[in-house]
Structures are given as structure tokens and as C-alpha cells.
Structure 1
Amino acid sequence: MSEGQGTLVDKSESSSFEDLASAAAQEIEEAKLAEAAAAEKEKPAEAKTDEWQDVLGSGTLLKKILKAGDESDGLRPHRSDICRISYEVKIRDTGDLVEKRDQVKIYLGDNEVLQGLDLALTLMYKGEECLLQMSPRFGYGDTGLKPGESLGLVGEVDSPKYKGPAISPDTWLEARLELHDWAEEPEHETLPIAERMETGTRRRARGNWWYGRGEAQLAVQLYRRALDVLDESEGGITDPTASGELAPTSGDLQALLEERLRVHNNMAAAQLKAGAYEAALQAVTRVLTCQPNNAKALYRKSRILTAMGRNSEALAAARAAAAAAPDDAGTKKELQRCEQKANRDRSVERRLAKRMLGTTDQPKGASSPDKKPSRTKMLVWGSFLLSLLVGVASVLVYRYKMQAH
């Protein structure tokens, strides 16, 4: 269970802020890609394969066509299309191989491959092969990649580890990319449940990879796409599929539900890390509606509520998480942290109450310069001064009488 902590500023409402940010960035990139596509169409065929094209106009993603594709119909793949591709990624300056895939299926725009490859595919025709130079932003980013870390390859149950030299935040990559063909994404309701499970699981796994690299917003995008295909709806889940297969059994439905809840749980962690607290709370609430004793969801609910400043509710969630998973070190630590915070809060409240009532504890012998004398002490000192004045007056009267005689 992750210990992600955010600042006490909620960046989300019912739909999280990262959707707006990513949508704006996507619109900008798509506009630049459209301009690049239009400019490329105007070039003569021989020029297209003889020069590097600055795809985004910033020098961060360069493309050179090695083999022209079929431009007869003028069609290119769009976001969410299923592309069948082959690619090879190397470190530009050394030529060391990073990863290589042949005839792999990806959903365009889902960040299932490096972002540079994802963007370049929108400018390619069927059968086209090109060479790319990608800045770190479109490769492994500021995190880089170290030997032994997962490559997060989509479709791989146990993704292989990287075996090459360390990739720093300044490392440029070079990729050879070929687009074999593509097809439109089918309606989810028409898919067999096994295919829906496979697609949802691969998106969740890729989202987990981005989350582990600190890319919470990219992770949320993958989790949302996973829910698109996993959420129950009319059609393929309860009715016979388009291929004529039998409707899934109750066991299949239960497996789909559990996978969907795993995605909601993971998305809550990513939204918490991104500071989208309201959206994260909604995600864990969906999990707990179906599984009230889900320890991971209760743990994350406690973390979310703490970030929102709702400490008493966070303590209740932490206690429930510890009860659901008494042997888990993460839930124990979370409960201890919430109890310590609750004790500090109670201590502060008691001190404030004493100050308001004027009953602040003072050590023996200590005096406060701002504290007024009590009524009893004032009476004692008044009586003493009065007696002293009476005695002085009596002495003066006695001396006057003696002088008169």
C-alpha cells in the first residue's frame, strides 16, 4: 500500500482536474500534428523520404520516412484505433537496444507505447516505415530507465526487465517504426467477455507502470480507458455476443467485477497522488460499496480523508482497514499515524479550552505577570492596610494629646 501524500489543496471536483489539463495538452498536440500532416501532404514524394520532419515544430520529435505507405485513400489512424505495429527503440548516441516488438497490437492514444511512437503513428499511412528521433520528454522522461527496471510492455503478463545501460533524463532515443495496418475500436458491448477482460487488464497493467514512474495523470488516463471496457452495460456481458457465443456465466461476471474494482482502487491512488481528492474519494467509495471490507480501499480512503483535513473520518477508515487486514504493516502504520494525529488534535483542543476558561495549568511557584489577583487575596491585603492605617492614626492621636498637656 503506497504512502502517497498530497498537499492540503484539492485540485478536483466531481470530475478530476487532470482531465482538463490532459485534454488541453492533447488538443495542442493534435493541432500541431494536423499542421504537420497537412504540410507533409504538400511535399513531393521524393522529398518525404530525404529529410527529417520536425513533427511538433519544437525539435523534440523528428521523423524521417524510410518506406512510403499506401496514400491512395489518404487515411491515417485516429485516437482509439487498434494499430498493428513493429518497432525497435535504441539509445540514439550509442545504438544500445532498449526494446523491440514485432506485430504487436496497441490502442492508439492510450500511451501503451512510448509517447513519441504514439504521436508518430497518427502521421503514418498503412505499410509506412519511418525513423524517429525522440527527446527524453517523448521517451522515458525525467525518470529515465535503470537496468533491472520493468519495460512495462503492453500485452506482456510478466514484462521483461531492461538490460541495457542507464537511460538518463537527458538521453535521446532513436526508433524504427512500421505501421502494418489498423482498424476502428469496436463497440465494447459487442466484445466477448474474455476480450473485455484482456483489454481492461492490459490497460490497468500499463497504468500501473506509469504510476510507478510517477506519471499519475497518464496512469489515470489508462485506468479510465480500462473502465470503459470493464464497466457493465447492456450487450456483451449479459446477452449472447455478436459471434454467437453463449452468455458469460456468473463466475465470469464476478471476475469482471473484481477487475473493475481493482482498477477503481488503483485509480484512487493515482488521483490522490495528483491531488484530485474528491475524484479519488469517489473511486474508493465505488469499491467499498461492493466490498465494504476491502483493506486496500479503506487504507486509501484514510489517506484521502487525511489530505482533505477530515481527520476523524480518516481515523475511522484506518481502524476499519486495520481490522480488515490486521497483519498488514501498511494498515498498522496508517492507524498509528491517525491515532497520533488525533491525540495531538485533542491536546490542542484542551489547551485552547483552558485558555478560554482561564484555567491554564501552571507549575507550582510559577506566576504569570498577566494573571489578576484573586478576590480573597484582595480582601486580605485590604484588611491589612486598613489595620495599619488605624494603628498609625492611633499613634498620631496619642502624640497630639501628650503635646497638648
Structure 2
Amino acid sequence: MPVITEVANEDVPLRPGPKGDCLDEDSAAGKGDIEGPSPIQSPKADGAGDDEDDSSFADMPPLESFEADKASKPKKEKKIVIEDEEPEKEVDEDGWLDVLGSGELKKRVIKPGQGKDSRPQRSNWVVLNLKGTLDNGTVFEEQKDWRIILGDMETVCGLDITLALMEKGEVAEIVIPARLGYGDKGREPDVPPKATLHYHVELLDTYPAKEESELPFQERLSIGDAKRERGNFWYGRGDYSNAAHCYRRALDFLDDMGLNLSESPADLQLLLDTRLKVYNNLTATQMKMEAYEAALKSVDFVLKVQPNNVKALYRKGKILASQGNVSEAVS
């Protein structure tokens, strides 16, 4: 968006001060994540700033003179300065866009799309045709009319990032470094460790996702279970943060809020059983992350429905022991 700045058109002399005297709002409040130098102090004059207040009011004019001076000066209007938007990142002579500025994650347009306004937003559905190959040309993945939710970790991180820069109808080549792909482990049996990934992607469509409660029962169950499986994938790789994200998203779809009573008892039981699996898996993930309070809430949900669930009882004991509640864990 354009940046709109108000500039006062007043002939007021600038107060001398050290460079950087104007701080942004966060800096002035002492906020921000980056540790910087000590706060800038105003210049001292004639030894001002000592512990004792040596100020004198003897030479100050009466208050009325300030009012007279203020009234005698015409009020100046403010000008509105509209700065241009930050320009799009430039492509190199071969047409490659350096997505992150590190030279690793790159994108090249083969066929332009329908303009920037057609780009997908986070949490939108995107529909893709894609083919993934290794450096030697070996195909390790191919999808047709593949539908995923952007930002839900349903594909590798590098592709998730770059899809947000594609336009509807666009065809592009994307090169993804190992650290944003399948990492040092690879993906057995088709992606070796530390492999660079090459994707040929066509963005067929993108549209906002409906509220989970508005979806038909079977669709909610199918999407929720798919996200559970994706969480298991990340858990198996030791990526517990992504696993927890997928499990939480699975629970969004597997919640029974908004369901009507027309579903069969068997279907409702299947939904509940799948949800309990997700909570059990989320508990294990939170334990790996040492988020014991969150893990305790997750496991208690399972035990509220299934008091004799062996996995849940075992995990609750370990959680309580990790929190120092040994006697409660034993009981």
C-alpha cells in the first residue's frame, strides 16, 4: 500500500541533535526484538542534566506574549506526501526471482498469470498441477488438480512460500534448497538427503476456504484425517512445530460443532475416534516440545471421553512426573 505521510509546512528551525534523534514508535517505547545502543539523549546545555535542577524562570517572558506570538502567525497547512509502493523484486537476466534474497529459493515465470490481485492468500485453497524432479531429472512427485490449503504445511516449506507469489493461471519453475525442502534426511525412498528440488507448477485456481462448520460431514472428516496424517509425517521427521500445527488444524475440521443429528451413530463415532487420535498425537508432540501444560490439556480431553485409554494414561503420568508431581503421577 502507498505510504501516506503528513509533513508540516512550517518554517521552524530544526533543533540541533545527534543523528538518529527521530525514533520510530517502537524504539521510543523501548520495544523491538533487536538489541541496539543505549537510548539517545538530548544535548545538554550549560551543564543541564545534573542531579540538581538549576533552571531559572527569571528571563522568561510573560505567558501573554506566547499567545500574542501564536495569534500573529498564520496557520500553516499540512501537505500530504504519498510515497510510491515498494517496487516488486527484480528478476535477473535469466528471468529468475530471488524469493528470499539469499540466492537459494528461486522462481521463474514460464507463463504469466492474471495479475497480482489473483495471488492466493494464506489459508486459501489452491489447486495445482505440479511435477517435482531432482538435479538429475528423476521425478519424485507428480500431482494433477492437487488441492491444498496455503500455509497449512501440506507441502514443503519452500513451495508453500513461493505459491503465495504466483498468480492464478501462472506456470512457473521453482528451485528449492534442501533446508526448505526435505532437509538433511531426504524423503525415502525417492528423495536423497540434502537434495535440491525442482518444481514445475501451474496454479489452476485459488479461492477462500469455507468455515469448517459449513462443510459437509464427509468432507470435514476427510480433510481432518488428511491433516492428521500430515502431522504424523512431520512428527516422524522430528519437526514437532509443524506436526503440532497440522494436528491443531485437523481438530478444526474434526470438531462436532455445527453438525446436525442426521449423521449416523457410526459416522459420529468415527469422527470422535479420529479426534481422540489427533489429541493423543498432539499430546505426544507437545511433550517432545516440553510444553507440558498444553500437553496436559490435550491428554485430559482424551481421558474425559475414554478414562481407560492406555496411551493417554501413560502420557499423563509422564507429563505429571516431568512437572515434578511424582505422587500424582504414581497414583
| TM-score when normalising by structure 2 | 0.70
**CA drift at 1:108:** 0.8
Please say if residues 268 and 284 of structure 1, whose CA atoms lie closer than 8 Å, have aligned partners that are also in contact: yes
1:118 equivalent to 2:140? Answer no
Per-residue CA deviations over 1:284-308 (Å, capped at 9, x if unaligned) read 0000001101111112212222322
Which structure dedicates a bigger proportion of its chain to strand? 2
Aligned to 2:111: 67
Whether 1:191 and 2:206 are equivalent positions in the alignment is: no
Q: 1:307 maps to what in 2?
A: 322
CA positional deviation for 1:140? 0.5
- Find the aligned partners of 2:253 and 2:175 in 1 and give their Cα distance: 33
CA 224–49 in structure 1, closer or farther in 2 if over 3 Å, else same: farther
**Alpha-carbon distance in structure 1 between the residues aligned to 2:132 and 2:93:** 20
Residue 124 of structure 1, CA deviation? 0.7
**Residue 231 of structure 1: CA displacement?**
1.4
Map residues 171-210 of structure 1 onto 2, 5 A cutoff: 171-210=195-234
The structure with more helix, counted as a fraction of residues = 1
Tell me, yes or no, if the aligned pair for 1:48 and 1:64 is still in contact at 8 Å.
Answer: no
The residue that corresponds to 2:182 in the other structure is 140
Alignment CA distance shift 1:303-1:63 (3 Å): same
Unaligned runs of 5+ in 1: 1-23, 25-36, 148-163, 240-246, 317-405
Q: Is the 8 A contact 1:49 1:65 kept in 2?
A: no
Alignment partner, residue 284 of structure 2: 269
Q: Secondary structure at the match of 1:88?
A: strand
Alpha-carbon offset, residue 262 of structure 1: 1.0
The one-letter code sitting in structure 1 at the alignment partner of 2:198 is: E
TM superposition shift of 1:120: 1.0
The alignment yields a C-alpha RMSD, in angstroms, of 2.2
In the alignment, the residues of structure 2 paired with residue 172 and residue 66 of structure 1 have an alpha-carbon distance, to the nearest angstrom, of: 20
1:174 Cα shift? 1.2
Q: 1:143 to 1:314 in 2, by over 3 A?
A: farther
Cα distance in structure 2, aligned partners of 1:79 and 1:115: 13
Query: CA-to-partner distance for each residue in 1:130-166, whole Å, 9 max, x for gaps?
Result: 111111121002322232xxxxxxxxxxxxxxxx3x5
Distance 2:323 2:212 in 1: 36
SS at match of 2:233: helix
The SS at the match of 1:262 is helix
Give the counterpart of 1:99 among 118, 141, 145: 141
Give the secondary structure class of the aligned counterpart of 1:63. strand
Q: Which runs of 4+ in 1 moved over 6 A?
A: none
Matched residue SS, 1:302? helix
Normalised by the length of structure 1, the TM-score is 0.58
Is the CA contact (8 Å cut-off) linking 1:60 and 1:134 kept in structure 2?
yes
CA distance in 1, matches of 2:87, 2:159: 20
User: Could you tell me how far 1:39 is from its partner in structure 2?
Assistant: 3.9
What is aligned with 1:82?
125
* 2:176 partner amino acid: M
The higher relative CO (CA closer than 8 Å, separation ≥ 6) is in 1
Report the Cα distance in structure 1 between the residues aligned to 2:241 and 2:265, rounded to whole angstroms.
34
Query: Whole-Å Cα distance in 2 between the matches of residues 195 and 173 of structure 1?
Result: 31
Q: Report the number of matched residues.
A: 248
Matches within 5 A, 1:269-348: 269-316=284-331
Q: For structure 2, which runs of at least 5 residues remain unmatched after alignment? A: 1-32, 34-84
| Alpha-carbon distance in 1 for matches of 2:318, 2:185 | 25
Which deviates the most, 285-294 or 83-92?
Answer: 83-92
- Contact map agreement 1:305 1:314 (CA 8 A) in 2: yes
CA, structure 1 residues 276+312, in 2 after alignment: closer, same or farther (shift >3 Å)? same
User: Which protein has the larger Cα radius of gyration, Structure 1 or Structure 2?
Assistant: 1
Question: Residue 53 of structure 2 corresponds to which residue in structure 1?
Answer: none
Closer, same or farther: CA 129–275 of 1 in aligned 2, 3 Å: same
| Cα separation, partners in 2 of 1:38 and 1:177, compared to 1, 3 Å | farther
Q: Identify if the C-alpha distance between structure 1 residues 48 and 54 changes in structure 2 by more than 3 Å, giving closer, same or farther.
A: closer
